[in-house]
Chains A and B, each alone.
Chain A
Amino acid sequence: MSNVVVVTSGKGGVGKTTSSASLGASLARAGNKVVVVDFDVGLRNLDLVMGAERRVVFDLVNVVQGDAKLPQALIRDKRLENLSLLPASQTRDKDALTEEGVGRVIEELRESFDWIICDSPAGIEKGAMMAMRFADTAVVVTNAEVSSVRDSDRIIGMLDSKTRRAEAGERIDKQLLLTRFDPARAARGEMMSVDDVLEILAIPLLGIVQESPDVLTASNLGCPVTLHNPTSPAARAYDDAARRLMGETIAIRTPRERKTSLMSRLFGRRAA
């Protein structure tokens, strides 16, 4: 039984594409057949993050419009043979996606993959709508700041009303992935706390990914962090999140502030 997951957020720059690639790689490494689909038509990035930018021939729009067959457009990852990428078109815009065409592509992907990860563009327009339309599960990527949280709240409302499942009266599974989390700033009150975010959004927590230079390094090298540096805290957080998606129960690792000197801890406590 295949699972269609939309990775979405509303706001841009919170880590949707990084999370799509990393979760996809984690799921694939766990032995699943995975495809990551880039819905950001016109601003494609997933190919770069996955290091496949020089192998793109056909794309999602070609397949949706019937100009290419699905196997022609799928790019198999060189590091993990059961991980594939369906890239977006850079030269077209989001109106090139039709609901009927996207539905057909998703149905076809369901036949050969266990997990279909739909990397949503930012915003609430056509591209984001198409990415979430056929999803069974939503991973809502959020940073611990008010603008990101409010945009995520808006997206959750749309997941509950505009998806196929919602329209059929079924529930769509929504889980929160808190990314770019900085425990030190949260401790100083410069960032919202995990509890604050969970209280506002009121959906289950899939994982907390710490802000980390490892993630940026991996993205720049065109390799998901879960493959590039599997022992880094961010990679471990994504691995745990992927296992939770697969239904395992693992306790959430809450990133803690780095160990500081006794003096600063004393002062920190006094200030609080």
Chain B
Amino acid sequence: MDGETLSLPWIRIRGRSFMAMVLTPAPPFSDWFAALDRQLGGAPGFFAERPVVVDLSAVAEAVGPDALPVALDGLATRGMRIVGVEGIPAGRLSGTRWADLATNLHGRDVALEPRPGRPAGEPAPAPAAAPSASLLIDQPVRSGQSIVFEEGDVIVVGSVASGAEVIAGGSVHVYGPLRGRAIAGLKTAGSRIFCRRLEAEMVGVDALYRTAENWGPDLHGRPVQVRCDRGALRLSAFD
């Protein structure tokens, strides 16, 4: 017994949160499902691969327990993956094909953008759970503004003004004059700062920083990258 326990691998269990869509069917069903179908017509695939939780409180209250499986069946035929229900006591679905659904899921509401059912032609909404690895800023970062993006790189298509700061978990890319502060590598080792014109007040990578007076005038105004090299901050020109 002991030997068998030792030889088996230890299973790691990880926690992860997913965003589930919550739907609240309401009687009369014909109207509600017609409205749902119209809305989904504008955004096919909105519910694809997304967990759905059904709030049955309105149905249970207005129609009664017999209508509960009808509502769930209606959603299932539209391809939705129902992972749980809420708004009804546990055991209310026993004896139906939905008896195994979780009834005590915990969660909180989050704002959902974009909304389903927008006019066709717009791009389909991106999966909400996928984090974007970079932040693109398409206008000048003005003095006093602070761009903080811990999840990845920051790309600025324009200038970063004196008195502005850009802080990134990954690298900072500035396709214009960098006149303010840039700090890279809050989360990712090996991050760098790239700018088309170095006129910065301060640059920092991996908790090392340097102010403008610490680099020579020969780098001023030139395209430069800043990186951390064996524990020291190194600024080097591209041209």
Which A residues contact B (CB, under 8 angstroms)? 124, 146, 150-151, 153-154, 156-158, 160, 200, 202
Contacts of A202 in B (CB 8 A): 140, 158-159
| 1/0 contact string of B129-164 vs chain A (CB within 8 Å) | 000000000011111110000000000001101111
* CB closest residue in chain B, given A156: B142
State the total of A-B contacts with C-beta under 8 angstroms. Answer: 35
Q: How large is the interface on B (under 10, 10 to 19, 20 to 34, 35 or more residues)?
A: 10 to 19
The distance in angstroms between the C-alpha atoms of A157 and B144, with both chains bound, is: 8
Main secondary structure of the interface of A (DSSP, over half): helix
B22 to chain A, nearest CB (A): 27
* CB closest residue in chain B, given A152: B143
Contact status A150-B139, CB under 8 Å = no
Partner of B144, one of A146, A154, A200: A154
26 of the cross-chain contacts (CB-CB < 8 Å) are A124-B144, A146-B162, A150-B143, A150-B161, A150-B162, A151-B143, A153-B142, A153-B144, A153-B161, A153-B162, A153-B164, A154-B143, A154-B144, A154-B163, A157-B142, A157-B143, A157-B144, A157-B161, A157-B164, A158-B144, A160-B139, A160-B142, A200-B159, A200-B161, A202-B140, A202-B159
* CB closest residue in chain A, given B163: A150
A19 to chain B, nearest CB (A): 21
B198 to chain A, nearest CB (A): 15
Main secondary structure of the interface of B (DSSP, over half): loop
The distance in angstroms between the C-alpha atoms of A202 and B139, with both chains bound, is: 10
Contacts of A154 in B (CB 8 A): 142-144, 163
Contacts of A153 in B (CB 8 A): 142-144, 161-164
Contacts of B141 in A (CB 8 A): 157
Contacts of B159 in A (CB 8 A): 200, 202
A70 to chain B, nearest CB (A): 34
12 additional contacts, CB 8 Å, given A154-B163, A200-B159?
A: A124-B144, A146-B162, A150-B161, A150-B162, A151-B143, A153-B143, A156-B142, A157-B142, A158-B144, A160-B142, A200-B161, A202-B158
A122 to chain B, nearest CB (A): 15
Contacts of B143 in A (CB 8 A): 150-151, 153-154, 157
A192 to chain B, nearest CB (A): 13
| 1/0 contact string of B158-190 vs chain A (CB within 8 Å) | 110111100000000000000100000000000
* CB closest residue in chain A, given B139: A160
The distance in angstroms between the C-alpha atoms of A160 and B164, with both chains bound, is: 15
* CB closest residue in chain B, given A159: B142
The distance in angstroms between the C-alpha atoms of A146 and B163, with both chains bound, is: 12
Q: Which 8 A-B pairs have the closest CB atoms?
A: A157-B142, A153-B143, A154-B143, A154-B144, A153-B161, A157-B145, A153-B142, A150-B143
A34 to chain B, nearest CB (A): 30
Contacts of B164 in A (CB 8 A): 153, 157
Contacts of A200 in B (CB 8 A): 159, 161, 179
Most interface-central of B145, B158, B161 (chain A CB within 10 A): B161
The distance in angstroms between the C-alpha atoms of A124 and B144, with both chains bound, is: 11
Contacts of B179 in A (CB 8 A): 200
B87 to chain A, nearest CB (A): 36
Q: Which of B58-107 contact A (CB under 8 A)?
A: none
The distance in angstroms between the C-alpha atoms of A235 and B162, with both chains bound, is: 33
The distance in angstroms between the C-alpha atoms of A157 and B140, with both chains bound, is: 9
Contacts of B142 in A (CB 8 A): 153-154, 156-157, 160
The distance in angstroms between the C-alpha atoms of A150 and B161, with both chains bound, is: 8
The distance in angstroms between the C-alpha atoms of A171 and B164, with both chains bound, is: 21
Contacts of B140 in A (CB 8 A): 202
